[in-house]
Copies of this chain bind each other. A is one copy, B any other.
Amino acid sequence: MSGEKGLVVALSGGIGGAKLALGLYRILPPESLVVVANTGDDFTHLGLHISPDLDTLLYTLAGIDALETGWGRRGETWNFMAALESLGGQSWFRLGDGDLATHVERTRRLAAGESLGAITAEFCRRLGVSALLLPMSEDPVRTRLLTEDGWLDFQDYFVRQGTRPRVREISYRGALKARPHPGFIEALSRPDLAAIVICPSNPFLSIDPILSLPGVRAALKAARAPVVAVSPIAGKRAFKGPTAKLMSELGLEVAAESVLTHYAGLFDHFLADEEDREELSKFDANVSFARIRMESLDDRERIARLVLSLGQGSR
């Protein structure tokens, strides 16, 4: 079975994961990619349902993502935000004028009884995205953090407080009762499943919420295709600031080794950075090495190809 022929399922958070998701999307044939997005960061703000990771993935796959920030839309304007501030509205979560359309239309459709998955599929269709982009669940799961200031909602911690409070514990409220999206489980059981990819997103804030859903770990184990995990850390530096800070606060060394250990038993192949070859050589696991920072579009495609080649053959 070739990784470039069958179905690929990628688990992803926002910015870091979206880079690899885009690489996979660009090299795979149409309709060969299912991207399962973390919705643990979803929240209601100004009365609007906001799904940050779904949106980052949607904009990235549609080629309308803001290249400079990694989140939001390209060529965004900020008149809504300026007007909202002038009226005394909450401005700690920056909503661009174009981005706002996604939240307003999603909220309207949810209120009309449509599912988050169906709405996302319609947005993908409208924006010409042929990958299947799925929320991890239709049920609410909310990542919360126990900090020195008490329990904080994710966006409060992450955006309003800029990840400043020290984190002691993480919980995924609602996860135990949430069902994984039916399309996610269905994809994992597909006979043409070629690979399952754990994108280089924050393991604790982006991937664990997905893995915490009942049945997901079992379905990953039962799937006939190999699981390839990509490290979000290279040379003891996380690609994104908050990952390193969070890992330290959780008592973990900021190192690919910590991620590998965290994902132990879950993956068949682990892709780490060249810089970490020595550190990881002691492990028995199937670890491969490459330059895994994805700066250019070529990097994204190169890592995607490598991931799929690792996934070739049965488990």
Contact = CB atoms under 8 A, between A and B. Distances in A.
Interface of A: 46-48, 73, 76-77, 79-84, 86-89, 96-102, 104-105, 107-108, 111, 122-123, 126-127
A75 to B, nearest CB: 8
Contacts of A89: 101, 104-105, 108
Contact of A47 (B73, B104, B126): B104
Instruction: Please give me the 9 A-B residue pairs with the lowest Cβ-Cβ distance, nearest first.
Output: A83-B101, A83-B98, A79-B97, A97-B97, A84-B101, A89-B105, A79-B98, A47-B108, A80-B97
A105 B46 contact: yes
Contacts of A73: 83
Given A101-B89, A127-B87, A108 B46 contact: yes
A144 B80 CA distance: 31
A47 B107 contact: yes
Number of copies: 2
A111 B47 CA distance: 8
A97 B48 CA distance: 16
Contacts of A82: 98
14 contacts: A46-B108, A47-B47, A73-B83, A79-B96, A80-B80, A80-B97, A80-B100, A80-B104, A81-B101, A87-B126, A88-B122, A89-B104, A97-B100, A100-B100
A118 B98 CA distance: 29
Contacts of A127: 86-87
B87 A102 contact: yes
A117 to B, nearest CB: 16
Contacts of A47: 47, 104, 107-108, 111
Contacts of A98: 79-80, 82-83
Given A47-B111, A79-B76, A79-B97, A104 B84 contact: yes
A97 B83 CA distance: 8
A283 B311 CA distance: 92
A186 to B, nearest CB: 25
B101 A87 contact: yes
B97 A77 contact: yes
Nearest to A105: B89
Contacts of A102: 83, 87
Nearest to A58: B87
Nearest to A82: B98
Nearest to A106: B87
A96 B101 CA distance: 11
Given A87-B127, A126-B86, A80 B108 contact: no
Contacts of A88: 105, 122, 126
Nearest to A128: B86
A34 B103 CA distance: 36
